[in-house]
Structure 1
Amino acid sequence: MSGTSDRSFGARNISSRASRPFRRSACTFVAGMPPMLTGQWRLRSPLPAIAVMVPSPSVSIAQAVASPYDELVSTSPQGSVFCTSWWLDAVAPGRWRAHELEENGQVVAAWPTVARATRLGSVHAGAPLTPFLGPLFPPGEGARRRSREITFVESLLERIGPFAHLEARCNPGFDYWTPLRWHGFRQTTNYTWRLPDLSDVDAVFAGFRENIRGHIRAAEKSGMTVTEGELADFLELHRRRFARDPHGIERIDLAARDRGARTILVARDADGHARAGGYFVHDARFTTYLLAATDAEVRGAAALVLWEAIRRAAERGTAFDFEGSMLRHVESFVR
């Protein structure tokens, strides 16, 4: 679907095996510069001990001042809405750990994970509806950047401590996984699609494939309109095709709505019937297409929702992330 300003971004899946004291396998990482790399990695260890973890910052919906951890998220090239304490409190209440590193009283690096204890040791993974986690570094350029990142990776692994399993899907800004290779990790590549420059939405629309432009125009000509909706509107559409609601969506919506960090768009036909919807989350950098819902009966409804979301992202001043996909039928649409 995306036009001349789009970029394909790749995703790394890292896996490895190593000698004692850690046995590492099936690890996936998300990382990358264009092409953007995302993925996960998993480590296995015979050590039964549970890692010493830093509690997640205490953040309420009414909190006005960001925690030191959230200040890092807001400035880190790897930061996103999905790493913020309020998001993780919504998707993994009481179960996520920041694993922070401090220098001179400031949080300079972190590796948020969602943790649980098992008889073999701690297991660290991601969270539902959370595309990106992984290491967070401070911004920086120059000759010392990679050296500091290597040091941060080593220190963060020590901070996490012994574990039975660890996986992380990292932000595309994590573009240098070599230090993990030295620890025996391997990686695979997945892809998502982004529109990094929305300064000229007419040019973006002109770059869509002709059939997508035709579907959007036909939907508009038929009287279909896209307006903001509420969670109930989106879930009613979603339930037409799926038996279960997205896990944790009510908590996410409560936290994101109060922060102005989500937009729900619903396409309705000329008779007022809902035909497609999208759930979008946004921060200062990206608007992300988190969830889709459609009755699949009216051609062009989903494309019209996306086009409206892209226009709103342009007005908001953010880039647009389709958040995938490696699924064949989805890839052919967003590409």
Structure 2
Amino acid sequence: MSDARTPAPESSAYSIFQQPWWLEATAPGHWDAVEIEEGGRTVARLPFVVTKRLGLRMLGQPALTQALGPWMQPTPGGHSKRLAREKDLYTRLITGLPAHDIFRQNFHGEVTNWLPFHWQGFTQTTRYSYVLDGLRNPAQLLAGFSKTTRNLVRQAERVVEVTESDDVEDVLRLAEKTFQRQGKTLPYSPDLLRRIDAAATRHGQRRALVARDDQGRAHAAAYIVGDQARAYLLVTGADPELRRSGAGNLVHWRAIQAAAEFTDIFDFEGSMLEPVEEFYRKFGAVQSPYSFVSRSSGAGALAFEAWRMLRR
């Protein structure tokens, strides 16, 4: 395994979430990676975060991180050769994992072959995100919006103005209000988003968009991170008392436009919740599947499920 303090090459990742700087920001001192080198170059890598729950050792991923999973250097040649190479490298990555009771990760959508994990006792569930491609054609994007979404965007433009903020606290306040409306607390530490913001400012791209009316009231906010490959909608929030303005739709549209400054792909990060799925789908985004892969011992699985039930 690699030393978590030693950065892996920036190319050894499918997304910013697999980058060492992201992992250090989201799980400082608690992440590592299995790495396979050939000829002095990293050809495969599997990062993970180590946590303990009820005395169980878990390998997973940090909060506010869409996916980890394995990365593999592209293999030249035909389909059969690629699959054979994947089987070899993925098996070596699995073998290199430290002892654990539970493994739980979302894999990047680029990983379409999870059979080597199946053969090692892992299970898989398909999940979905929603993705927009072609951000630099705003007219085409708007045409793909549902009529309802377009109308809400136009409605909000008459009520609020969306500006970029250097202060992530604006986003945090509205995110907290969103969860309070549901009778819940923020599912991540505010300091986590602050660390991400500081790291993304140095290493990646970040945009914090806030919609305010002429009285200075913040209606909605969206926070995105990314790089040249893709932008991700990481955090959103809205004031429950001001929801009728349609600012939530407008701030998403402005986030898409802001992402176009550094990439051509926008990932809403999806949701398995029906109302959220419908909201993202109405922006014309395309359904994009990815795998949730897990493995646990019998006792570990039962204890972990009991812990999850207690949290609920």
**Change in 2 beyond 3 A, CA 1:245/1:262:** farther
Structure 2 vs 1, CA of residues 117 and 191 (structure 1 numbering), >3 Å: closer, same or farther? closer
Residue type at the aligned position of 1:55: D
In the alignment, is the contact (CA less than 8 A) between 2:59 and 2:104 conserved in 1? Answer: yes
Counterpart in the other structure of 1:57: 5
| Pairwise CA distance, 1:91 | 0.8
Alignment of 1:113-192 (within 5 A): 113-116=48-51, 122-143=57-78, 144-192=81-129
Which of 169, 180, 201 does residue 232 from structure 1 map onto?
169
Deviations 1:221-255 (A, max 9, x none): 23x11111111211222232334473211211111
Once the two structures are superposed, the pairs formed by residues 61-80 of structure 1 within 5 Å of their partners are 67-73=7-13, 79-80=14-15
CA contact (8 A) 2:26 2:196 kept: yes
Displacement of 1:260: 4.7
Q: Is the 8 A contact 2:163 2:210 kept in 1?
A: yes
Correspondence list, 1:183-202, <5 A: 183-202=120-139
CA-based RMSD: 2.0
Aligned to 1:220: 157
Change (3 A) 1:163 1:220: same
Unpaired stretches in structure 2, ≥5 consecutive residues: 180-184, 282-312
Q: Which whole-Å deviations, capped at 9, do the CAs of 1:108-127 have from their partners, x for residues lacking one?
A: 11100001468977421111
Q: CA deviation at 1:89?
A: 0.3
Supply the distance in 2 between the matched residues of 1:315 and 1:55 (Cα, whole angstroms).
Answer: 34
**TM-score, reference length from structure 2:** 0.81
Give CA deviations for 1:281-334 in whole Å, capped at 9, x if unaligned.
011111110111101323310110111111122232330000011111111111
Task: Give the structure-1-normalised TM-score.
Answer: 0.75
Whether 1:310 aligns to 2:256 is: yes
1:291 to 1:120, Cα distance in 2 relative to 1, 3 A: closer
Match of 1:301?
A: 247
Richer in helix (by share): 2
**Could you give the per-residue CA deviations for residues 101-159 of structure 1, whole angstroms, max 9, x where no partner exists?**
11111111110000146897742111111111010101234322211111111110111
Q: Does 1:281 align with 2:225?
A: yes
Residue pair 2:204, 2:227 contacting (<8 A) in 1 also: no
Whether contact under 8 Å (1:126, 1:133) holds in the other structure is yes
User: Take 1:333 and 1:121, find their aligned partners in 2: how far apart are those partners?
Assistant: 37
Aligned residues: 269
Q: What is the alpha-carbon distance in structure 1 between the residues aligned to residue 137 and residue 200 of structure 2?
A: 28
Per the alignment, residue 9 of structure 1 pairs with none
Whole-Å separation in 2 of the counterparts to 1:300 and 1:210: 13
8 Å CA contact 1:111–1:156 kept in 2: the answer is yes
- Aligned residue for 2:233, secondary structure, equals strand
Aligned AA (2:256): I
